[in-house]
Amino acid sequence: MSRWEPGASGRLRDAAMELYVERGFAQTTVAEIAERAGVTPRTFFRYFADKREVLFGGSTLLQEAMVEALHNAPPAAPPMVAVTAALDSAADFLGGRHDFSRQRQALIKANPELQERELIKLATLASALTDGLRLRGVPDPEAGLAAETGMAVFRVAFDSWATGAGDRELAQVMSDAMGRLSSITQDR
């Protein structure tokens, strides 16, 4: 095996997903992932802290994109409009990876350790959006309520899209979910 080859990160991600689907997450080792990708286990750890991070490695980039979109929303935009801009950014970031997302979602649903990691990721995103709304001048508890509501919409829409037929864009599924939220809050 060579010490370094271009595209190792993508090959590792692909190899891990193949093995997770074939054998299950818990039954797959880092050594097996590295071998299938044609690299050493040491190379694996240059890209990922552990085998869970293959599924969660883009979380920081997703968070940065969402916070930037929130920040770039028009200054006078109400909190949920700014949060919707962040959700649109998430749809752009994730929307082109339906097959990977479908497999990832199935793995997470089947593994409590991954479910826990997913909840941590979502809580971190909600916290970042809350902080971003505060920077926009949204007071508490409204900042937290808007961010948490946005993440609930994100979670429901993403799951629906990832487990669906793939005939709709993630952005449209998110928009529909936000519309449904609006209609059910009008029924108060």
Query: Could you tell me how far CA 117 lies from the centroid of its own chain?
Result: 11
Would 8-54 and 58-185 be classified into the same CATH topology? no
Per-residue confidence at 2, pLDDT binned at 50, 70, 90? very low
Per-residue confidence at 165, pLDDT binned at 50, 70, 90? confident
| Fold (topology level) of 58-185 | Tetracycline Repressor; domain 2 (1.10.357)
pLDDT over 90 for what percent of the chain? Answer: 86
Question: Does residue 188 surpass a pLDDT of 80?
Answer: no
Identify the CATH number of the domain defined by range 8-54. Answer: 1.10.10.60
Q: Where are the domains of the chain?
A: 8-54, 58-185
Question: Does residue 96 surpass a pLDDT of 90?
Answer: no
Question: Does residue 92 surpass a pLDDT of 70?
Answer: yes
Question: Does residue 3 surpass a pLDDT of 80?
Answer: no
Element at 154 (helix H, strand E)? helix 142-163
CA distances from 152 to 31, 157, 161, 170 (A): 36, 8, 14, 15
SS3 content of the chain, % helix, strand, coil (to 5): 75, 0, 25
Closest CA to 70 of 170, 169, 172, 143: 143
Q: 10-35 burial, b for 16+ CB within 10 Å, e for fewer?
A: ebbbbbbbebbeeeebeebebebbbb
- pLDDT tens-digit map of 32-55: 999 999 999 999 999 999 999 999
Average pLDDT in the chain? 93
Closest CA to 173 of 94, 107, 100, 62: 94
Amino acid in position 119? L
